[in-house]
A = this chain, B = another copy of it.
Amino acid sequence: MKHAFTEEQVRNVARGLDLAGVEYFEVSHGDGLGGSSLQYGLSVVDEMKLISAAREECKQAKISVLLLPGIGIREDLEKAVDAGADMVRVATHVTEADVAKQHIELGRELGLKTVGFLMMAHMAPIGKLVEQAQLFESYGAEVVYAVDSAGALLPHEVKERIGAMRKNLSCDIGFHGHNNLSLAMANTMAAIEEGATYVDGSLRCLGAGSGNTQTEVMVAVLDRLGYETGVELYPVMDVANKVVAEFMPRPQEITGSSLIMGYSGVYSSFLLHTEAAAKKFGVDERDILVELGKRKAVGGQEDLILEVASAIATNK
């Protein structure tokens, strides 16, 4: 959406989700509170205004905000609470939970439901993931998520990860999936089977890459499996198909770039740079991404792209 949600759109979605019985939904810039900037993209409407608008529409639903240490600051979170936020999800790379200690503590201090959100969970060995989740728990997080940011995990890998977290933590466990390998729903089911009690979705899959687990479909599947989600199927379908589908800028499909993201495990911020490097060195950009995935490149290491492209060109 390029941070272009209008207040009316947010109100309509919030009202629909609230009516359907959804317990929590998130209102934030894509890069979290304070993300509206030249670097990350300016929000068309200030996020605090959107949070207030969503709050006004809700009879029962609670509002979550996203906070990335280094982008959002204390004042942002305090303002979000004033605007009506009930939950904060503090997100770090899977190996960097230690940068979030003060943010988790702040969330608790402000009386928020406080969540640790470990992104790119496929990049760490299971022991490391558990260690980082335990850090979050030790700071006071009430829920810790494994986040499959690149849509790279397979269901058995989700089971191993969520199972290990469930075994080694006392707090609640969450899972956030992306659909790059057409496995978001399967991975969400795998997470629930292993004890995750917080799972994320997006209406009509709207989200980065190939989007997320499709909320209204998840409600149908969980109903068929006998779980009581508290969410009613027809109302949640209606907000997906009559509200969100109407303003989506493009359909959410699994295209070439989103597939290779899931296959290589590389995050989307590399895609543009890779395309340029592929042209420059006359190599297939997919080979670059797959090699970056093998080298476990992370955001900030964009320099590696040229090095890898050059190496592939030399070895051709």
Residue numbers of A with Cβ under 8 A of B are 154-155, 179, 181-186, 189, 204-205, 213-214, 216-218, 220-221, 223-225, 233-234, 237, 240-241, 245, 251-256, 259-260, 262-263, 284, 286
Contacts and interface: CB of A to CB of B under 8 A. Distances in A.
Contacts of A218: 182
B154 A225 contact: yes
A284 B234 contact: yes
A218 B183 CA distance: 10
A155 B255 CA distance: 24
A224 B154 contact: yes
Contacts of A253: 204-205, 251-253
A259 B234 contact: no
9 contacts: A155-B186, A181-B220, A182-B185, A205-B254, A224-B263, A233-B263, A237-B259, A241-B256, A251-B253
B155 A217 contact: no
A182 B221 contact: yes
**Secondary structure call for the A interface:** helix
Nearest to A252: B253
Nearest to A263: B220
Contacts of A205: 253-254
B214 A182 contact: yes
Query: Which among A154, A240, A253, A286 has the highest number of chain B CB atoms within 10 Å?
Result: A253
A251 B286 CA distance: 23
A224 to B, nearest CB: 6
Contacts of A252: 253
A154 B221 contact: yes
B251 A217 contact: no
Contacts of A224: 154, 181, 263
A310 B78 CA distance: 55
A1 B72 CA distance: 48
